[in-house]
Amino acid sequence: MTPFLASIGLPEIIAGILVLGLNAYVLTGGADFGGGVWDLFARGPRKAEQRELIAKSIGPIWEANHVWLILVVVILFTAFPAAFATLGIVLHIPLSLMLVGIVLRGSSFVFRSYGSTHKGAQRRWGRVFAIASIVTPVLLGIIVGAIATGAVGGAASTLPTKAGAPSANASFNSVFVAPWLAPFPLAVGALALAMFAFLAAVYLAYAATDDALRDDFRRRALGAAVAMFVAAFGGLGVAQMHAPSVSRDLTSGFALYFQVATGIAAVSAIAALWTRRWAVARIAAVAQVSLILWGWVVVQYPYVIPPSQTLRATAAPRITLVLLLYGLVGGSLILFPSLVYLYRTFAARDAESAQIEQAPRG
C-alpha cells in the first residue's frame, strides 16, 4: 500500500465527502451563478430568449443546488470545528460580503420571477440578480485563494489567544485584510467567475432547443474557456511572484497529473464545442472544473488551512466523525433519489413539456 492510502482514516474520508459536496456545489450552484453572468451579458437579437432560457433552467433547481453550500459548511464546522473558527475570524470580511451577494442573488431572482409584473421593476431586479451573480463567485474564489496561499493560516497564528485581548504584532490590516486582498486570491476569484460562466454557457448550449440560441451560448462558452485559460495561467504567474510555494506545489509531483488531466479535459471541451457535440462538451466541462477543484485539494492535503492546521489536528473527536459519517450516508440514501427525481422532472431538453410549462398560472 502506498503511504498516501495508508494515511487515509476517518478525518480524510469526511474531508473527501466535504470536497465532493463542494464539487457538487460548484457544478450546480456555481452554474446558477454563471447563469446570472449571462443574464447580464445577454446581447443580440435573441436577448430576451437568452434570459428566458436562463430563468427557466435555474428556476426549479437553484434552491436545491444552493443547499450544497450549507451542507459543506455544516460538515466543516462539525468535523473540523477549529478550522471553521479560524476561517470565520480571518476571512470575516470576504465571507460577510459573499453572504450579502448570496442574499441579494436569491431574493432578487424570486422578486423578478414572482413579484411585480411591472417591466421597470423586473429590469431592476434582473440587474441586482446579475451583479450579485458576478460578485459572489469572485468572493468565493478569493476565499479559496487566500486559504491556498497559507496567508489565512499565517494570520491566524498571530491572533490573540483570548478574545478581545490586544495583540502587539498584528495590525487589523495584516490579519483581516491582507490575507485575502492580494494578487493570487484575486486571480483565483477571476478564475472562479470564468469557471462558473463557462459551466453555465455549456449547460445552456446543451439545454437550448433552438439552434440559433444554442450558438449564442456556444460562442459564450468558448469565450469563457479563453477567460479561464487567461485566469489560470495569470494566476500561476502571479503565484510565482507572490506565492511561490503554491506555484511549486501546483506543478510538482502528484498535482502535475491533475494539471495534465485538466488540460486534456479543457481541450476536449473546446473541441466538442467547436464540433457542436453538446453532450460531450457538457461531460468534458464538468470533468475540467472538477479536476481544477481536486487539483487544489491534492496540493493542500493534508492541510485544511496551510501552513499548519492539518485535517487531523483540527478534527472533532472520533465519535462525532463516526456519527456524522452515518448521518451523511443515511441522508444520501434519501437525498440522491430525490435529486435525480428533481432533475428528471425538469430535464430542460424536453421540448414537449417545455410547451406545457407555458400553461396558465393561478
Partner 1 sequence: MNDLLAARTQMAISLGFHIVFAEIGIAMPLMMLIAEWRWRRTGDPTYLQLARRWAKGTAILFAIGAVSGTVLSFELGLLWPGFMRLAGPLIGMPFSLEGFAFFLEAIFLGVYLYGWDRVSPRAHLAAGAMVAASGAASAVFVVMVNAWMNTPAGFDLSPDGALVNIDPIAAMQSPAAFQQALHMLIAAYAATGLAVAGVHALMLLRGGPSAFHTRALGIALLVGAPAAVLQPLSGDISARVVAVTQPVKLAALESQWTTERGAPLRIGGLPDAERERTRWAIEIPYGLSLLAFHDPHAEVKGLDIVAKADRPPIAVVHVAFQVMVALGSAMALVGLFAGWVTWRRKDVTTNRTLLRALVIVTPFGFIATEAGWIVTEVGRQPWVVQGIMRTSDAVTPMPGLAVPMTLFTLLYIGLGAIVVALMTSLVRETA
- Per CB under 8 A, the list member of 59, 183, 237, 307 interacting with partner 1 is 59
Choosing from 70, 241, 260, 271, the residue that interacts with partner 1 (CB under 8 A) is 70
Q: Which of 8, 85, 241, 264 binds partner 1 (CB under 8 A)?
A: 85
DSSP codes of every residue in 275-326: TT-HHHHHHHHHHHHHHHHHHHHHHHTTEEETTTEEHHHHPPPHHHHHHHHH
Q: Nearest approach, Cβ of 335 to partner 1 (angstroms)?
A: 6
Q: Alpha-carbon distance 126 to 118, whole Å?
A: 12
Among 13, 20, 40, 64, binds partner 1 (CB under 8 A): 64
Q: Tell whether residue 84 is a contact of partner 1 (CB under 8 A).
A: yes
Site string for partner 1, 163-182 (x = CB under 8 A): xxx------x---x------
Q: Cell 476569484 identifies what position?
A: 189
Under the criterion CB under 8 A, does residue 251 sit at the interface with partner 1?
no
State the Cα–Cα distance between residues 174 and 239, nearest whole angstrom: 19
Q: Is 351 in the site for partner 1 (CB under 8 A)?
A: no
Residue 334 interacting with partner 1 (CB under 8 A): yes
Single residue of 7, 52, 331, 349 touching partner 1 by CB under 8 A: 331
Q: How many CA atoms lie within 13 A of 125 on its CB side?
A: 20
Closest CB 30 distance from partner 1, rounded Å: 15
Helix (H, G, I), strand (E, B) or coil at 98: helix
Q: How far apart are CA 113 and CA 135, in angstroms?
A: 21
Segment interacting with partner 1 (CB under 8 A) among 209-217, 221-229, 251-259, 352-360:
352-360
| 3-class SS of residue 60 | coil
What contacts 24+ positions apart, CB below 8 Å, involve 330-334?
Answer: none
241 binds partner 1 (CB under 8 A): no
Q: How many CB atoms sit inside 10 A of residue 283's CB?
A: 17
Q: Is 127 in the site for partner 1 (CB under 8 A)?
A: no
Is residue 313 within the footprint of partner 1 (CB under 8 A)?
no
Least distance from partner 1 to the Cβ atom of residue 134, Å: 17
Reduced to 3 states (helix: H, G, I; strand: E, B; else coil), residue 5 is helix
236: contact with partner 1 by CB under 8 A:
no
- Closest separation between CB of residue 139 and partner 1, Å? 12
116 touching partner 1, by CB under 8 A:
yes
Decide if 253 contacts 234 (C-beta within 8 A).
no
> Is 342 among the residues that bind partner 1 (CB under 8 A)?
yes
Phi, psi at 304, each rounded to 5°: -85, -45
| Number of residues counted as binding partner 1 (CB under 8 A) | 73
- Out of 43, 44, 96, 279, the only residue in the binding site for partner 1 (CB under 8 A) is 96
